Amino acid sequence: MSSSVTTTSPSAAAPADGGTKSAPRLRTGRKHTPGRPKRSVLLTVLTGLILVYTVVPLIWLVISATKSMDGLANSNGMWFAKDFALWQNIHDTFTYHDGIFVRWLLNTLLYVVLGAGGATLLAILGGYALAKFNFPGKRAVFAVVIGAVAVPGTALAVPTFLMFSKMGLTDTPWAVIIPSLVSPFGLYLMWVFASEAIPTELMEAARIDGAGEVRTFFQVALPLLAPGTVTVLLFTTVATWNNYFLPLIMLKDPNWYPLTLGLDAWNSQAQTIGGDVVFNLVITGSLLTIVPLIAAFLLLQKYWQSGLSAGSVKE
């Protein structure tokens, strides 16, 4: 039953290779692809349609961020207003309400470093264990994880709140960080990745050399897992950066808000009696919120791109 899938499986194919250890098993570029394909204009155009679909809303966001409240109300959404207020908007976003946006940005960074970092670490450890050890209850672990994830989170919010409240965690950063530490998808990715990337022979060799489990993990496994780590880190970072619902329930004090909650609060000022309507800051703040993530993608993409391939060349 379970043996039917060959997920991402250079090592699964290893026996078929007859131990061609020296041969690069991975396509490292176009030259290895069968048929040496020519670039296709048609295919590029078709994919381009999807590209338009994905970027048009982002273009709207960028254009809208250049508009004042007045410009937003009086101009076509897909083109610039007469006034160009981007710098003013950015300035206002950072200084509005005594610069609370900066505080939210720092909070978000804190949640990402501890939450996403921690989640990645736990996923690495867990994935490594699932891939490389046989232990009692192993098969149940992932089944329980998937099963638990299947229960709608909104219904769990109140019980979680009550528990966290008893532990004195609500309205503190921990109420955001601790739930962020669990990434079921990260666990799955690391599991698959560790199965592929770490040759059991290498672990055994290390053990024969007298290395303990901890040392084997750090010296043998961890370096091999680095590329997968970057991918999981990427996913957990995005998840933490975009986290909305649980912080909404857990946090009352705006000083602990992440950016998503802060923007939502600014947006909802428009629905408040006597509230200050700041749609322009909501939009500019939204843009500023995704810029760091996009920058991180671009910076890290080298790693997860080469990573996903290089990781499999494990000799």
Partner 1 sequence: MRRTTGRLARGITLLSVLALGATACGSSDDGSKDQKAVSAGDIQAALKKGGTVDVWAWEPTLKSVAANFEKKYPKVKINLVADRSGDKHYTALSNALAAKKGVPDVAQVEYFALSQYSLTKGLTNLAPYGADKLKAKYTPGPWNAVNDGDKVYGLPMDSGPMAMFYNKKVFDKYKIAVPTTWDEYVAAAAKLHKADPKVYIANDAGDAGFTTSMLWQAGSRPYKVDGTKVSVNFDDAGAKKYTDTWQKLLDQKLVSPINGWTDDWYKGLGDGTIATLTTGAWMPANFVTGVPKAAGQWRAAPMPAWTKGDKASAENGGSSLTVPELAKNKELAYAFVEYANAGDGVQTRVDEGAFPATVAQLQDPKFLSKKFDYFDGQEANKIFADSAANVASDWSYLPFQQYANSIFNDTVGKAYVSGVKLPAALKTWQDASVKYGTEQGFTVEK
Partner 2 sequence: MTTLEPPVAAKRAPARPAAKKDRRSWTGWGFVGPFVTVFALVFLAPIGYSIYLSLFRDQLIGGTSFVGLDNYTQALQDDQFWSSLGRVSLFLAVQVPIMLGIALLIALALDSGRLFGKDFFRIAIFLPYAVPAVVATLMWGFMYGTKYGLVGDINTAFGITLPDPLSSDLVLASIGNIVTWEFIGYNMLIFYSALRVIPLSLYEAAEIDGAGQIRVITAIKLPAIRGALVIATIFSIIGSFQLFNEPAILRPLARNAITTDFTPNFYTYSLSFNGQQHNYSAAVAIIMGLITMVIAYVVQLRGMRKGA
Within positions 241 to 270, which residues make up the interface with partner 1, using CB under 8 A?
Answer: 248-249, 252-254, 264-265, 268, 270
Q: Identify which of 110, 77, 104 has the alpha carbon closest to the alpha carbon of residue 237.
A: 110
Q: Is 80 a binder of partner 2 (CB under 8 A)? A: no
Cβ closest to partner 2, residue 117 vs residue 126: 126
186 CB contacts (<8 Å, ≥6 apart)? 119, 120, 123, 127, 232, 235, 236
Q: Is 139 a binder of partner 1 (CB under 8 A)? A: yes
Question: Are the CB atoms for 179 and 249 separated by under 8 Å?
Answer: no
Q: Which residue in 51, 149, 162, 295 binds partner 1 (CB under 8 A)?
A: 162
Question: Are the CB atoms for 170 and 161 separated by under 8 Å?
Answer: yes
- Piece of 82-90, 96-104, 192-200 that binds partner 2 (CB under 8 A): 192-200
Q: Which residue in 43, 275, 294, 295 binds partner 1 (CB under 8 A)?
A: 275
Q: Is 34 a binder of partner 2 (CB under 8 A)? A: yes
Type of residue at 174: W
Q: Is 69 a binder of partner 2 (CB under 8 A)? A: no
H or E element that contains 96: helix 86-111
Q: Is 170 a binder of partner 1 (CB under 8 A)? A: yes
Q: Is 125 a binder of partner 2 (CB under 8 A)? A: yes
Q: Which residue in 24, 48, 147, 153 binds partner 1 (CB under 8 A)?
A: 147
Q: Which residue in 99, 168, 212, 223 binds partner 1 (CB under 8 A)?
A: 168
Question: Are the CB atoms for 313 and 26 separated by under 8 Å?
Answer: yes
Q: Count other C-beta atoms under 10 Å from residue 293's C-beta.
A: 16
Cα–Cα distance measured from residue 31 to residue 33, given in angstroms and rounded to the nearest whole number: 6
Diameter of the chain by CA atoms? 75
Smallest separation, CB 100 to partner 2 (Å): 17
Q: Is 145 a binder of partner 1 (CB under 8 A)? A: no
Smallest separation, CB 115 to partner 1 (Å): 22
Cα–Cα distance measured from residue 127 to residue 194, given in angstroms and rounded to the nearest whole number: 7
Cβ density class 105-122: b for 16+ within 10 Å, e for less: bebbeebbebbbbbbbbb
Tell me, what DSSP letter sits at residue 112?
A: I
Q: Is 6 a binder of partner 2 (CB under 8 A)? A: yes
Tell me the site size for partner 2, rule CB under 8 A.
130
Which residues contribute to the site for partner 1 (CB under 8 A)?
69-70, 72-74, 137, 139-140, 143-144, 147, 158-159, 161-163, 165-166, 168, 170-171, 248-249, 252-254, 264-265, 268, 270-279
